Amino acid sequence: MEDTAWGSTHEAAVDLHKALLAEKGQGQPAFSRSMSEQIPVNVMDEVRHLKTPGGFRRNFLHTQASLEGVPMEARPKAWRTSLMTSVKPLIRIGYFDAVLGIRLDEDGEELPALAGESGMVQTILALAKSFVGSGITFLPGAFSKGGYLFSPLVLVIIALANASCIWLLIGCSAATGLTGFGEIAEKAAGKWAKQAVHVSLVISQFGTNVAYMIFISQMAEALGILTMMGREQLFMLIVAVLVPLCFLRSIHRMEFAILGADVLIIFGLAVVLWYAATDLAATGPSPSLSAYRPDTCGLFIGTAIFTFEGIPFVLPIRQSMKEPEKFWSIFSKTFACIVLLFVLFGLGAYVDYGTSVRTVVLLNMPAGDPISTSVQAAYMLALTLGSPLVFLPAGRITELWIFGVVKEKGSKRWQKNSLRTVEVCFLGVVALYGGAFFEKFLAFQGALCCAPIAFVYPAWFHLQLCAKSWGEKAIDFFFILLGLAAMVFVLSQAIAS
């Protein structure tokens, strides 16, 4: 009896497997195709649904709702959509390559504006992906430069200033109907302003690539790779890996790799917080804490400004929404959670490690510990996979500057690849010799590139395009002066320290 039951179950499984293969057109024999034809379409649809991640859970919820008489339109949309369906289009919607206010194809031709297709979940994930990157791992080291009272307070002030200037930028977009940073700049002050914005954004993106390279090299050193080769050879290896990745013409090909990198980053942050909390509970706060350090607080300000690296993505993300009028409500809540994460992460790790905290806090984790080693390797891999995402928009703009719009498709591909090779090699040289001054590099990056993008440009454009009353003009002037003052103060301390 048991053999008979097992045999019938086995035959049913084989029949279903053959039917699935036949449905995919994998050339199964005639009898398997005929068997699949006997299975109703709705059954095959249900099989496909069950195969998706979370399919059995959603099927159970729908079954229970049907038994209780709940109509389909009254059930949550999440019951009909898998998480992967919500996450995967983050790469496809194209907000990442509209960061410079212009979307270009591989030959330099401008692409149409983003089509609104993102829902609330996709928008939240896009904002989180844009703001939570490598910069958060620099915050504990930056907190040690500002102090445990000064740093959280100023970080929140910088966040409020960022949010206010994003509001001004959205106001410019609403008033003009334009959705690109560069387009708004040109409308406000002419082509030279558009060029200034593009230059700032290109340098900012390339600067982030340099930070990634330094980060990767420090993780490699922590993993002992540096003992097998010199520092120059290590950076040659990093460049050799990144050059072919930066040849990609479309990030869509790395969709799953980039999503995997995001998971690795979240895993790394969670482990660092767990280590810090465990250590604090066992030994208490470090005795080397300072409430305020006036001689180095400028380095903290520069790094904090750099940490909010997602500002250029805001307009493209808003443009990609199905209902852009709901953006501010979603943004304000999501941004508040991101700022809270920044404060908890920076303050928690600083209070635990004190003045011994490293610029990259992952280096403070126990050496040789399997979990520490896994996190460092995971972060190194994540930033390697994420580098093309940061490089591609700036690389396309520099290609447009040099080659213009290419008439014959693909005719300049190897010239462009050569340019990208030179750019990555140059960034590698900057990372090699700038790594010893990593904290100052982050401060310079924040002051020279991020402060104008975050504060000066949005307020200036709003002053030219939207400000009517004296109160509105006063607010715009305040943020322009705030951005300029931050630039001067951070640069002066970075040079003097």
Taken in order of first residue, the domains within the chain and their CATH numbers are 2-85 (no CATH), 86-496 (1.20.1740.10)
pLDDT at site 70: 65
Average pLDDT, integer, range 86-93: 48
pLDDT at residue 45 above 90? Answer: no
Model confidence at 334, pLDDT cuts 50, 70, 90, reads very high
pLDDT at site 467: 94
Confirm if 329 and 321 have CB atoms less than 8 A apart: no
If one compares 357 and 388, the residue with the highest pLDDT of the two is: 357
Average pLDDT, integer, range 376-382: 88
| Per-residue pLDDT reduced to its tens digit, 112-137 | 655 667 788 888 888 888 888 778 99
C-alpha to C-alpha distance for 366 and 362, rounded to whole angstroms: 9
Confirm if 198 and 452 have CB atoms less than 8 A apart: no
pLDDT at site 24: 43
pLDDT at site 403: 84
Q: Give me the sign of the Cα torsion angle 66, 69, 73, 78.
A: negative
pLDDT at residue 448 above 80? Answer: yes
pTM: 0.78
Model confidence at 397, pLDDT cuts 50, 70, 90, reads confident
* CA distances in angstroms from 274 to 128, 136, 280, 282, 346, listed in the order given: 21, 16, 10, 12, 13
pLDDT at residue 297 above 60? Answer: yes
C-alpha to C-alpha distance for 195 and 181, rounded to whole angstroms: 11
Model confidence at 76, pLDDT cuts 50, 70, 90, reads low
pLDDT at site 410: 66
C-alpha to C-alpha distance for 5 and 12, rounded to whole angstroms: 11
pLDDT at residue 419 above 80? Answer: yes
Model confidence at 36, pLDDT cuts 50, 70, 90, reads very low
pLDDT at site 321: 85
The single-letter DSSP state of residue 113 is P
| Per-residue pLDDT reduced to its tens digit, 258-291 | 777 778 888 888 898 898 889 899 999 999 999 9
Average pLDDT, integer, range 5-33: 45
Mean pLDDT for the chain overall: 80
pLDDT at site 387: 87
Model confidence at 317, pLDDT cuts 50, 70, 90, reads confident
pLDDT at site 109: 56
For residue 272, give the H/E element and its range: helix 255-283
DSSP notation for 139-192: HHHHHHHH-TTHHHHHHHHHHHHHHHHHHHHHHHHHHH----HHHHHHHHH-HH
Residues 6+ apart with CB under 8 A from 115: 320
Task: Mean pLDDT check: name the lowest of 71-85, 172-186, 247-261.
Answer: 71-85
Q: Which residue has the tokens 């109907």?
A: 177
Model confidence at 382, pLDDT cuts 50, 70, 90, reads confident
If one compares 103 and 285, the residue with the highest pLDDT of the two is: 285
pLDDT at residue 180 above 90? Answer: no
Letter string b/e over residues 200-233, b meaning 16 or more CB atoms within 10 A of that residue's CB: bbbebbbbbbbbbbbbbbbbbbbeeeeeeeeeee
pLDDT at site 4: 45
pLDDT at site 74: 63
pLDDT at residue 46 above 60? Answer: no
- Residue 118: strand pairing partners: 321
pLDDT at site 37: 45
Task: Mean pLDDT check: name the lowest of 80-84, 122-126, 322-326.
Answer: 80-84
pLDDT at site 465: 95
Task: Mean pLDDT check: name the lowest of 34-48, 228-242, 415-429.
Answer: 34-48
* CA distances in angstroms from 397 to 4, 80, 101, 384, 423, listed in the order given: 68, 40, 10, 22, 12
Task: Mean pLDDT check: name the lowest of 176-180, 186-190, 427-431, 482-486.
Answer: 176-180
pLDDT at site 97: 55
| Per-residue pLDDT reduced to its tens digit, 192-216 | 998 898 889 899 889 999 999 999 9
Model confidence at 40, pLDDT cuts 50, 70, 90, reads very low
- Residue 104: strand pairing partners: 110
